[in-house]
């Protein structure tokens, strides 16, 4: 039977997958756990441990441990959970990975939250204290367009150092339902926005001017975003977020975005050609190149993300992507390897086709090929990705980009140079060490895949 006390103690853990060195001070804190803390009743004493900065404390000081996990963190999260449970401390888990694979997570946890904690956390904790903890707490998938969540609890970050703790979420949900993403499925197919006045009040409580929005698409619904932007324009804050390029079609909206203090936007281009190209869907490469130019000319740093490895990508994709990024003078290009995360349509497809190379979740990190590509070998995909990153972050490429970006040249240069290090440290594409995955492994895993499917079907 679990302990009950007037002031029970909850330990929340953000697992680290590797040592980060000084880079850890340039990270953003996990909003997930700050939000979980915010919906934990006030009689609970909450401690947050970010494993990249803190040691994991002794379990005897806590009544309950809560662990969050994205897929690449799952293996480490399970190790931590197993340790606490073997010391007799119950563990609950939540976040994207336990949400999509609750049964797997339950082999390491006493209970799992599927989806958003806000609607289920109080019941879970009440059940826990009453000795009737259930295995699964499933949050309903929201259907409306409103997001009603409390302000996140930043004070639990005391004593840690981050780039900024002034992160905030204005909206959740996404109507696009991309095959490589789980957001629509678990957070709903509409943009759900918080009340603008509430967001602005939270921002007003920040001691500094910088605000980082952790939304999927802050400008997804311009009508809902406008009052937030207008409010920020009056406050004189500086902010950055993730969004889609489309907003820039509306020149007035772009002007408002710039006037509201936007200094940087992260946009997913995904692919410059083919089925997964966001360019093709919204007017083609030339219109999108024009939209990018408009954003840059408004003095906003534009970080664009490209994914390599879709089924219609052959080896020419690396060159065409580099040339597109060069022509558009993207301020900061990011290149990722396609990763079929569990819970996505892509994962389901590759699983059915026997194309997943393994299920080592720590390697589902956008930096390793974990599936058999269609028109390339895994090795060709990996080498092409390494070469593209090295070329894009060579000094001539950086200077050419910075030169073509009229606004914020210094910040842009600093940001690019900061990115150069990790790209340079990638193993050279002609290194022998790159034989990270071979044909035998693929054959072996295709068999494993088939066996898995047969056993799933037999159930």
Looking at 134, 164, 184, 336, which residue binds ligand B12 (CB under 6 A)?
A: 336
How far is the C-alpha of 67 from the C-alpha of 92, rounded, in Å? 6
118 near ligand B12 (CB under 6 A): yes
How far is the C-alpha of 335 from the C-alpha of 143, rounded, in Å? 33
CB of 399 vs ligand B12, minimal distance in Å: 26
What x-and-dash track marks residues 214-233 binding ligand B12 by CB under 6 A?
x-x-----------------
How far is the C-alpha of 347 from the C-alpha of 355, rounded, in Å? 9
94 near ligand B12 (CB under 6 A): yes
What H or E segment, with its residue span, contains residue 238? strand 238-243
401 near ligand B12 (CB under 6 A): no
Question: Tokens 């662990």 label which residue?
Answer: 67
36 near ligand B12 (CB under 6 A): yes
CB of 355 vs ligand B12, minimal distance in Å: 18
Per CB under 6 A, which region of 54-62, 117-125, 246-254, 442-450 contacts ligand B12?
117-125
11 near ligand B12 (CB under 6 A): no
| Strand ranges, E, within 271-349 | 301-308, 332-337
Query: Is 6:44 a contact under the CB 8 Å cutoff?
Result: no
| Strand ranges, E, within 272-330 | 301-308
106 near ligand B12 (CB under 6 A): no
Per CB under 6 A, which region of 25-33, 126-134, 282-290, 423-431 contacts ligand B12?
25-33
| Strand ranges, E, within 134-206 | 136-138, 167-168, 171-172, 192-193
171 near ligand B12 (CB under 6 A): no
Output the CA angle 301-307-310, nearest 5 degrees.
155
What x-and-dash track marks residues 185-204 binding ligand B12 by CB under 6 A?
--x-----------------
Looking at 15, 62, 97, 248, which residue binds ligand B12 (CB under 6 A)?
A: 97
Q: Is 395 exposed, middle or buried (0-12, 13-18, 19+ CB in 10 A)?
A: exposed
347 near ligand B12 (CB under 6 A): no
What's the Cα-to-Cα distance from 144 to each of 148, 169, 186, 366, rounded to whole Å? Answer: 11, 17, 14, 32
Query: Is 337:351 a contact under the CB 8 Å cutoff?
Result: no
Looking at 8, 11, 15, 32, which residue binds ligand B12 (CB under 6 A)?
A: 32
What H or E segment, with its residue span, contains residue 242? strand 238-243
CB of 65 vs ligand B12, minimal distance in Å: 8
244 near ligand B12 (CB under 6 A): no
Closer to ligand B12 by CB, 104 or 230: give it.
Answer: 104
Residues that bind ligand B12 (CB under 6 A): 28-32, 35-36, 66-68, 70-72, 92-97, 113, 116-118, 121, 169, 181-183, 187, 214, 216, 336, 341, 365-366
């Amino acid at each position: 039977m679990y302990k009950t006390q007037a002031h029970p103690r909850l330990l929340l853990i953000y697992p680290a997958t590797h040592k980060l060195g000084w880079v850890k001070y340039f990270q953003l804190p996990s909003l997930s756990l700050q939000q979980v803390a915010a919906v934990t009743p006030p009689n609970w004493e909450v401690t947050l441990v970010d494993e990249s900065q803190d040691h994991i404390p002794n379990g005897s000081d806590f009544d309950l441990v809560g662990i969050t996990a994205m897929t690449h963190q799952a293996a480490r999260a399970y190790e931590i959970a197993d340790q606490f449970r073997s010391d007799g401390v119950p563990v609950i888990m939540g976040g994207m990975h336990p949400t999509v694979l609750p049964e797997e997570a339950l082999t390491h946890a006493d209970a799992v939250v599927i989806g958003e904690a806000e609607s289920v956390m109080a019941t879970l904790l009440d059940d826990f204290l009453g000795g009737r903890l259930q295995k699964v707490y499933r949050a309903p998938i929201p259907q409306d367009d409103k997001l009603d969540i409390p302000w996140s609890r930043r004070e639990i970050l005391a004593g840690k150092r981050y780039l900024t703790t002034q992160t905030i979420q204005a909206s959740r949900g996404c109507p696009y339902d991309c095959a490589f993403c789980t957001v629509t499925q678990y957070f709903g197919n509409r943009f759900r926005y918080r009340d603008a006045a509430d967001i602005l009040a939270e921002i007003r409580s920040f001691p500094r001017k910088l605000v980082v929005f952790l939304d999927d698409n802050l400008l997804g619904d311009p009508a809902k975003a406008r009052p937030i932007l207008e409010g920020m324009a009056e406050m004189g804050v500086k902010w950055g977020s993730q969004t889609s390029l489309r907003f820039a079609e509306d020149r007035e909206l772009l002007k408002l975005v710039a006037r509201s203090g936007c200094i940087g936007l992260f946009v997913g281009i995904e692919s410059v050609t083919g089925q997964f190209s966001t360019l093709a869907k919204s007017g083609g490469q030339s219109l999108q190149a024009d939209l990018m130019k408009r954003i840059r000319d408004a003095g906003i740093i534009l970080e664009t993300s490209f994914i390599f490895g879709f089924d219609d990508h052959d080896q020419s994709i690396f060159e065409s992507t580099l040339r597109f990024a060069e022509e558009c003078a993207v301020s900061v290009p990011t290149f990722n390897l396609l990763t079929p995360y569990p819970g996505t349509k892509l994962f389901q497809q590759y699983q059915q086709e026997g194309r997943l190379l393994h299920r080592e979740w720590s390697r589902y990190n956008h930096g390793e090929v974990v599936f058999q590509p269609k028109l390339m070998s895994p090795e060709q995909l990996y080498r092409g990705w390494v070469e593209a990153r090295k070329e894009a972050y060579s000094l001539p490429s950086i200077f050419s980009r910075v030169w073509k970006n009229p606004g914020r040249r210094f910040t842009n240069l600093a940001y690019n140079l900061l990115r150069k290090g990790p790209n340079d440290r990638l193993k050279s594409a002609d290194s022998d060490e790159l034989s990270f995955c071979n044909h035998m492994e693929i054959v072996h895993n295709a068999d494993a895949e088939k066996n898995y499917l047969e056993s799933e079907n037999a159930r």
